[in-house]
Amino acid sequence: MVKTYEEALKWLHNRTKFGIVPGLQRMEEMLIRLGNPHLSVKAIHVAGTNGKGSTITFLQNILLDAGYTVGTFSSPYILDYREQIMFCGEMISENEFTQLVNCMIPVVEEVEQLSCGAPTEFEIITTMAFYYFGKIKEHDIFLIEAGLGGLEDCTNVITPLISVITSIGHDHQQILGETIEEITKHKAGIIKYKIPVVTAELKENALKIIRNEANKNEADYFEYGKHFFASPLKDHSNEKFNFQVIGGFSIENVELSMLGQHQIRNASCAITVVQLLQNRYGMIFSETNIKSGLELSQKPGRLEKMAANPVVYIDGAHNVEGIKSLVETMNSHFRDKGIKILFSALKDKKVEEMVIELQKLTNNIEMTTFDFPRAMNKDELISNANNLNLTYEKDLYIAIDENIKNTHENEILLITGSLYFISVVRSYLLKKFV
| Cβ(75)–Cβ(147) below 8 Å | yes
Q: Please, which pLDDT band fits residue 175 given cuts at 50, 70 and 90?
A: low
Residues 109-115, mean pLDDT to the nearest whole number? 95
Burial of 382 (0-12, 13-18, 19+ CB in 10 A): middle
Angle between helices 52-65 and 261-281 in degrees, nearest 10: 50
Across all residues in the chain, what is the average pLDDT?
Answer: 93
Tens-place pLDDT, residues 237-284? 789 999 999 888 999 999 999 999 999 999 999 999 999 999 999 999
- Does residue 434 register a pLDDT over 80? no
User: How confident is the model at residue 433, as a pLDDT?
Assistant: 82
The domains of the chain, with CATH numbers, are 5-296 (3.40.1190.10), 304-433 (3.90.190.20)
User: How confident is the model at residue 239, as a pLDDT?
Assistant: 93
Whole-structure pTM value: 0.92
Residues 107-112, mean pLDDT to the nearest whole number? 96
Q: Please, which pLDDT band fits residue 173 given cuts at 50, 70 and 90?
A: low
Q: Please, which pLDDT band fits residue 206 given cuts at 50, 70 and 90?
A: very high
- Ordered DSSP codes for 60-87: HHHHHHTT--EEEE----SS-GGGGEEE
User: How confident is the model at residue 172, as a pLDDT?
Assistant: 60
Q: Please, which pLDDT band fits residue 174 given cuts at 50, 70 and 90?
A: low
Question: How many angstroms separate the CA atoms of 311 and 304, rounded?
Answer: 11
- Does residue 169 register a pLDDT over 90? no
Residues 223-242, mean pLDDT to the nearest whole number? 91
User: How confident is the model at residue 220, as a pLDDT?
Assistant: 97
| Cβ(183)–Cβ(177) below 8 Å | yes
| Cβ(343)–Cβ(319) below 8 Å | no
Question: How many angstroms separate the CA atoms of 189 and 352, rounded?
Answer: 30
Residue 271 is inside which H or E element, if any? Answer: helix 261-281
Tens-place pLDDT, residues 371-422? 988 898 899 999 999 999 999 999 999 999 999 999 998 999 999 998 899 9
- Does residue 115 register a pLDDT over 80? yes
359 C-beta neighbours (distance < 10 Å), count: 16
Q: Are strands 311-315 and 338-344 parallel, antiparallel or unpaired?
A: unpaired
What is the b/e burial string over 15-49, where b = at least 16 CB atoms within 10 angstroms of the residue's CB?
Answer: beebeebeebebbbbbbebbeebbeebbbbbbbbb
Name the percent of the chain lying above pLDDT 70. 98
> Which neighbouring-strand residues pair with 71?
87, 142
Burial of 432 (0-12, 13-18, 19+ CB in 10 A): middle
Amino acid at 123: E
Q: Please, which pLDDT band fits residue 349 given cuts at 50, 70 and 90?
A: confident
Q: Which of 69, 246, 251, 269 is nearest to 166 (CA)?
A: 269
Amino acid at 343: F
User: How confident is the model at residue 238, as a pLDDT?
Assistant: 85
Residues 79-106, mean pLDDT to the nearest whole number? 96
Q: Which of 200, 244, 191 is nearest to 219 (CA)?
A: 191
